[in-house]
A and B are shown apart, each in its own frame.
Chain A
Amino acid sequence: MVKHVLDIDPEKCNACMRCVFACSLARGGVIDERQAMITIVVEKGVVVDIAVCRHCEPAPCVNVCEFDALHVENGRVILDQSKCTTCKACVSVCPFGAIRESYGGELVKCDLCGGDPECVKVCPTGAIRYLPAHLVKMRRVGGATRTVYEYLEIIGRG
């Protein structure tokens, strides 16, 4: 099976919040930004980012977790709440700002809805797409010389 991940294009996002609400509905059955695993990052009225897990390989969050609470399952980075102590080391090293604190310090991150992400279905502009990982890797963030993935691969080999 080809690994699929979310491909994000903030320039296409109009901050309609459908993805955020669909995500929190899928996760907790309620419409509540704080329970969503995806965040639209707005600065001075402009969407600058959509913060959501890209399921990195190797994944800094998995490397840094000392509690065995993060692991890779079918190419997806999964957070096991029962082992998490909210030390937030993973938050500090996430390249995408994609792990967030929900109520009572519970950390939340995208699990790709088990392979059928709700956010993609409701996005009206194509700002979030679900694509084979090798296509997503071509995209560079903010004029950087390397993508995060390329950087991670270099380090992973070292």
Chain B
Amino acid sequence: MKTVIIGGGIGGLYTAYYLVKYGYKPSNIVLVAAEWPPYSKHRLAEILGEKLSIDYAYIGIYNTLLDKGVKILQDVAIRLNISNKTVVLRHNGEITYDSIVIATGGKPFIPPLKGTELKNVMTFYDLEDLKKLSKIPRTARVAVIGAGLVGLSAATALNRLGVRVTVYELMEDILPGVIDHPLSTKLKKYLVSKGIKIRTRSRVEGIIGGKTAREIKVSGRIEPVDVVVFATGVRPNTELVKGSGIEMLRGAIKIGRNGVTSIDGIYATGDCALSHDLITGKEVYRPLGFIAAHYARIIARNITGTRKETRGIVPTIYENIGGAHVVRVGLSLKEAESLGLSPTIKCEETPSYASCTVLQDQTPIGYEAIGFSNKIRNKAWQIYYDIHTMFS
């Protein structure tokens, strides 16, 4: 039996790891990775802000996989032939599989605007982006588009380097996918006090320049700029499976609770696929590394013959945003509403934290907190267990 894993990101890497752990013969695993060695995107902002070597980004287990005898092909899959169970690689030709795991990840989304092709317009997504951003001069004016985790991490890292940063966010609040209005307001105030300019309710309408961008048009105003960084989210990278008959939803691969796609023997995990929300049971698109690893483990169990299904995911997020501790477990008010619930929110403040609990019919379904001292301790863990006890 041979398992081919397409993608060397978190989903692919940890599928290989768990397969080996659960007793699958390493020499029967082929991992097709476009980039090698594998690295963690969670570390890019730290490396940028502290001017560290990119070696810090690499994930240690790739050595273990190599030592065990997993076959790594630095290559890209270009065609999937489901009927004869083969996959065509750009350099290594056609290879056969018994099981295949699609872990092709995501790709940064850039809105269709004028001027995004200009030279100094980029994303903050991979090692190449990190290298480019590391080289920009301190005098540069940087526009970061999007105030999500990636945008704010990039902005605070650049701010630490002394670069002038303005963050533009379309929504009313920053970190709109992570925390709700009461805490978002506090974070915004804190970041502004650190010297980061933040413009919410700002629609970027285009980038102006010859070969390189010189100005940015935002909600009718034109502002000078030297570098533009798009942090406007991630979309599933599913070119390989388009038209293959594998069922998709909103551009992402649909998977069952056992990680199998609509076709037997074909699994998917990570930013190319949907996942299950524990609280609502709904299928959601959450491009988060730990979710990729969660399904990687489930998939490895199923491939090695132990039937295993996920009960679903409870988001558990922590990020240090320029010295502010941001925590979120379970659902935010906004996410709960988007999933069809009618939640309420209850907020409180202690000397170290401002926090909100999201409730549905008096039951906690989420918790979010923000703190500015060196105290990380908060109540998230309690809500995390309450949610599991209540909904599992």
Minimum distance in angstroms from A47 CB to a CB of chain B: 11
Please state if A85 and B50 are interface contacts (CB–CB under 8 Å). no
Told that A49-B377, A92-B380 touch, could you supply 13 new A-B pairs with CB distance under 8 A? A41-B352, A43-B375, A66-B14, A67-B14, A82-B64, A85-B42, A86-B40, A86-B42, A104-B50, A104-B53, A105-B42, A105-B56, A155-B389
Minimum distance in angstroms from B382 CB to a CB of chain A: 7
* A103→B46 CA distance, assembly (Å): 7
Contacts of B289 in A (CB 8 A): 85, 87
Q: Is B318 an interface residue (CB 8 A)?
A: yes
Do A104 and B57 contact each other (CB < 8 Å), given the known contacts A42-B374, A51-B375? yes
Please list the residues of chain A having a beta carbon within 8 angstroms of any beta carbon in chain B.
Answer: 39, 41-44, 48-49, 51, 60, 64, 66-68, 81-89, 91-101, 103-106, 151-152, 155, 158
Q: Which interface residue of B18, B60, B385 has the most chain A CB atoms within 10 A? A: B385
* A88→B60 CA distance, assembly (Å): 16
Q: Please, how many residues of chain B have a CB less than 8 angstroms from a CB on the other chain?
A: 52
Contacts of B329 in A (CB 8 A): 92-93
Q: Is B61 an interface residue (CB 8 A)?
A: yes
Contacts of B42 in A (CB 8 A): 85-88, 105
Do A83 and B61 contact each other (CB < 8 Å), given the known contacts A60-B381, A67-B14? yes
A-B contact count (CB 8 A): 134
Do A93 and B316 contact each other (CB < 8 Å), given the known contacts A83-B61, A100-B376, A105-B47? yes
Contacts of A158 in B (CB 8 A): 389
Please state if A105 and B374 are interface contacts (CB–CB under 8 Å). no
Please state if A51 and B376 are interface contacts (CB–CB under 8 Å). yes
Contacts of B53 in A (CB 8 A): 104
Please state if B52 and A66 are interface contacts (CB–CB under 8 Å). no
* A99→B53 CA distance, assembly (Å): 23
* A84→B45 CA distance, assembly (Å): 17
Do A60 and B384 contact each other (CB < 8 Å), given the known contacts A44-B351, A87-B289? yes
Q: Is B43 an interface residue (CB 8 A)?
A: yes
Closest to A80 in B: B60
Please list the residues of chain B having a beta carbon within 8 angstroms of any beta carbon in chain A.
Answer: 10, 14, 17-18, 21, 40, 42-43, 45-47, 50, 52-53, 56-57, 59-61, 63-64, 288-291, 293-294, 296-297, 316-320, 327-329, 351-352, 373-378, 380-382, 384-385, 388-389
Please state if A86 and B375 are interface contacts (CB–CB under 8 Å). no
Minimum distance in angstroms from B59 CB to a CB of chain A: 6
Minimum distance in angstroms from A146 CB to a CB of chain B: 10
Q: Which interface residue of A43, A89, A91 has the most chain B CB atoms within 10 A? A: A89
Closest to B384 in A: A93
List 30 interface pairs A-B (beta carbons < 8 Å), by A numbering: A39-B374, A41-B375, A42-B374, A43-B373, A48-B352, A51-B377, A60-B385, A64-B384, A67-B14, A67-B290, A82-B59, A83-B60, A85-B59, A87-B293, A88-B42, A89-B317, A92-B380, A93-B380, A95-B377, A97-B375, A97-B376, A97-B378, A98-B376, A101-B46, A101-B320, A103-B56, A105-B40, A105-B46, A105-B47, A155-B389
* A84→B17 CA distance, assembly (Å): 13
Please state if B385 and A155 are interface contacts (CB–CB under 8 Å). yes
A88's partner among B17, B318, B378, B382 (CB-CB below 8 A) is B318
Contacts of B52 in A (CB 8 A): 103-104
Please state if B297 and A66 are interface contacts (CB–CB under 8 Å). yes
Please state if B389 and A91 are interface contacts (CB–CB under 8 Å). no
Contacts of B64 in A (CB 8 A): 82
Contacts of B328 in A (CB 8 A): 92
Closest to B53 in A: A104
Contacts of B294 in A (CB 8 A): 66
Please state if A94 and B376 are interface contacts (CB–CB under 8 Å). yes
A-B complex: 9 closest residue pairs judged by Cβ atoms: A104-B56, A82-B60, A97-B377, A97-B376, A105-B43, A66-B293, A92-B318, A91-B318, A105-B46
* A85→B320 CA distance, assembly (Å): 15
Minimum distance in angstroms from A88 CB to a CB of chain B: 4
Please state if B373 and A41 are interface contacts (CB–CB under 8 Å). yes
Contacts of A88 in B (CB 8 A): 42, 317-319
* A85→B40 CA distance, assembly (Å): 6
Please state if B385 and A96 are interface contacts (CB–CB under 8 Å). no
Minimum distance in angstroms from B47 CB to a CB of chain A: 6
* A73→B378 CA distance, assembly (Å): 26
Please state if B389 and A66 are interface contacts (CB–CB under 8 Å). no
Please state if A104 and B59 are interface contacts (CB–CB under 8 Å). no
* A68→B328 CA distance, assembly (Å): 22
Contacts of B17 in A (CB 8 A): 68, 83
Minimum distance in angstroms from B258 CB to a CB of chain A: 16
A151's partner among B45, B296, B382, B388 (CB-CB below 8 A) is B382
